[in-house]
Structure 1
C-alpha cells in the first residue's frame, strides 16, 4: 500500500508507538488525524507533524466513549471524504495477577484493549465499504496474544479477541468482494515505551519505539496480514506455536514470572 498523500487516523497517538508511527508517516506528505486523551501531548505531536510537511488535526477524548469515536470519524469524512489508513493503537497492559485482581480491574483492561478498537473499527469500516480506492485498518496487537502469559491474563485475552475478530473480518471482506480493503494485525514484541518502562516485567529483545514504527510502515507498504516483529522474538513465537508442547511453554513463561507479585 502506498503511504504518501493519504488521509490517516492514528489513535493513541500522544505517546509511545502511536506517536512514533505518526511522526514517521508525517514525512510522506500525509493528512494525519491523531486521537488521544491528553491535549497537551497531542498538540506537541501535531506541531512536529506539521513541521515535517504533513497536515494534522487532533481530537481529544476517551475512546471508551462510542459517541466520541463516531464523531471523530464523522468529522474526518466531512473534511476529506475518505479514510485511507486507520491505525488503531489504544491499549494498556499493566501487570495483573488473575488470582488477585478485581473484576473491575480485569474488565477495565479488557475494555481499553477491545472496546476502544471496536468503537473506531465499526464507523471506519462503514466508511471504507463506500470507497473504491485501496485502504486499510491496522490494529496494534501483540505477540503476547498467541499464548496465555502470567501477569498478563486480561491483556492477552483482549488482544487475542481482537486478533480473532480481525481474522474473521479479513475472511468476510474477501467473501463479500471488498478487495480494496486490507486488514492488518500488528504484532510487536517488547517495545521500550513510557507505559511499560518501569512495570517490572521481563522484556527480552526489546526495541525502541522508533524502530517499531519503521517495522509498522514496512508492513503497511507490503499489505501484510500479520506484521510480526522483531525477528528474534517472532522466531521464538513461531517455533513455540509449531513445535513446543504446552508444558514446556508453561515452564518457559513461568521462569520469567516474578514470584512475589
Structure 2
C-alpha cells in the first residue's frame, strides 16, 4: 500500500528513537534507580532493546531479567521515583537529537501543527523535548501518564487529533517502532516508519512505501502536500536545509 499524504493536516511524532537518541539517558536513569536499590544494572545495548513502552515496562523488564518478576509494588514505585528524578536532573545529557531533526520540525512548523505522542510520561517528555530544542515547535505533548494510554492503544493519537481540530485520518504518525505503527492503525491515522531509531527492524513486513530513511526525506514528503494545509494565509514550503547539503548534527 502507498502512503497517501494528500489529506494530512497535522503530524504526530514519537520521541525516543524518532526525535532523539535518548538511549544513553534512559540507561543512566534506569541504572541509577537500580543502584539505589542495590540491584543489578545493565549495559546500553541491553537497555536499548527494552525502550519503547515507557518507564514502568522498562523497570519491569529490568526486574524480570534478574528474576524479580514478582517484585513488590513498593519496590517498583521507588524505582520509578528514582528513574524520574534522574531523568529530570539530566534529560538529555548523554543522548543526542538525531541529525536533521531540528531542521525538520522548524521547517514543518511553518506549515503544519505538530505534537509529540510518546509512551514517556508527559513531564519527562517535556523535559527531554525542551533539552532537545524541539519543544517550542510543538503544539502539544501527549505522554502516557496512565498505563491505559500507552501505545499501541489509540487514545493519545485520538486526543491529539481532537486537540488539533483534525480527523485522525488527517494526522500523520511518525515513529520508529511497532507500538507507534499499531497505535496509528488503531486510531485510523496514516503512519510513517523511520529507520534511524530503535524498533524498525522488528517490522520487516512493513511496506517500503511507508518507511523513511532520513529527516530530510520525511520533510520533503510532507512538504509536497503541505500548501493545502498551510497554517498561514500565504503558503510557504519549509526550507528543509538538509536538501541543500549534508545534515548538521544537533546536540
RCO (CA 8 Å, sep 6+): is it higher in 1 or 2? 2
Instruction: State the TM-score, normalizing by the size of structure 1.
Output: 0.39
Instruction: State the TM-score, normalizing by the size of structure 2.
Output: 0.40
